[in-house]
Amino acid sequence: MHLHILGICGTFMGSLALLARELGITVSGSDANVYPPMSTQLEEAGIVLCEGYSADNLLPRPDRVVVGNALSRGNPEVEAVLDQGLPYVSGPQWLAEEVLPGRRVIAVAGTHGKTTTASLLAWLLESGGLAPGFLIGGVPRNFGISSRLGAHDAPFVVEADEYDTAFFDKRSKFVHYRPEIAILANLEFDHADIFDDLRAIERQFHHLVRTVPGRGRLLVADGEPALDRVLEMGCWTPVERFGAQATSPWRLELEREDASRFRVIHEHHDAGVEVNEDAVVDWPLTGAHNARNALAALAAASACGVDLPRAAAALSRFATPRRRQELRGEVAGIEVIDDFAHHPTAIAATLEGLRAATPRGRLLAVIEPRSNTMRLGTLRDRLAASVAAADAAFWFQPSGLDWSLSPVLEASPVPARLLDDLDALVNALVAEARPLDRIVVMSNGGFGGIHEKLLAALEVAHAD
């Protein structure tokens, strides 16, 4: 069996390729951006990579082609697939057909925190001795890989994205997964390039709810009006709430302001008897949003038989996924932190968590608004307020952003600067930073390798 993957260097498609290789399938693929670390990971797995898209990449003729959702009609390789009548399928459909059947699937959905929550859950299941499979839109550092099959009888954790599936299938990816357990962590407007409004996304989330069986479970965050509206459309599965509300059976109480220590309370019935469990989590992450992510993961792990004390203890050994509050380096007492936040809500949550965990130095926010939603300017009016927890903000105007960030600076609650040259941005940060400061770089892209450039420039500036 020869599988050829279009868009293979994307996080989802690359992870899919690794699963296919683990199944013993011959895999090749093409992408416009073939570069490390994904290219290295794929080549080490024995996968042949083609840079760029061309009909020649389809030689020798593959048995099946998997088409990534970033590709559309007009792409030369897509056109060749259609003209040659090659069998093709979307990534989510391939996963659903070839990997998920017979598995206990746990889908992690939400506008924010999917990668962290899925990584947390996979780690809790691993710590509970279940050897789970997983496909995650990032690299969980406890595993060092973004996907694996796991034990054949173990749960499979999948990061369940609401983005569309492929050019020929405009349903959200997550409708393919048919989970037994689904986490609905939060829901607000995003992906303005494919959704007209929040109601359109709510409808897709309800399609996911429709696929969860009555013997399954929906773990739903409290205090989320959009999720409440989703459930009001119809629900046929037991619902367990998690969050901070007194009525939720899974809830948390922060014991430190930065959420690095919190108590988990689980109230439930066992054989008709009311049971109250609690455990304290003392872990390396910060931010109330991450504590909620952990709470969701604890609830899902419990549904799979991992007891609360064991799971809570395992969280102390959890390492954040790559690009989620990841410390990239420290020079002269100045930390450089990488974070994937790119939506105003995520930017604010990341900064609030780091602010509470930065008692002495300053918090400098560096932001590149480059997501499709940001490029359309849909949420621009919320950007200024999102940096309120920082001491200063440095905004980068990427070349593809067709609107000016100047109004964001004018409305900024903290001192702010706007730059459109990467070297000038690095120089400005080096001039501003001093020992004990934390520089958090937020972007959903590579940001021109700013982390390495910044660390190298700090080394030079503080060489004496």
Per-residue tokens: 138: 């990032």
Residue 286's closest CA among 317, 244, 257, 311?
257
Residue 206 annotated in ligand binding: no
**DSSP H helical segments within 167-250, as ranges?**
198-211, 225-232
| CB burial of residue 37 (10 Å; 0-12, 13-18, 19+) | exposed
The reply, when asked if residue 237 is annotated as ligand binding, is: no
- Residue burial 272-292, b: 16+ Cβ < 10 Å; e: rest: eeeeebebebebebbbbbbbb
Give the pair of three-digit tokens for residue 314.
């395992």
Sheet arrangement for strand 334-339 = 326-331, 334-339, 438-442, 363-367, 392-396, 416-419
Query: Annotated binding residue at 113?
Result: yes
* Residue 112 assigned as binding residue: yes
Q: Among residues 167, 177, 185, which one has the least CA distance to residue 210? A: 177
Classified as helix, coil or strand, 393 is strand
Q: Which residues contact 85 (CB under 8 A, 6 or more apart)?
A: none
Cβ proximity of 352 and 389 under 8 Å: yes
The answer on whether 191 is annotated among ligand-binding residues is no
| CA pair distance 109, 113, nearest whole angstrom | 9
114 is in an annotated binding site: yes
Is 342 annotated to bind a ligand? Reply is: no
With b for 16 or more beta-carbon neighbours within 10 A and e for fewer, the 73-104 pattern comes to eebebbebbeeeeeebbbbbbbbbebbbeebb
Residue ranges for the known binding site for ATP are 110-116
Residue ranges for the known binding site are 110-116
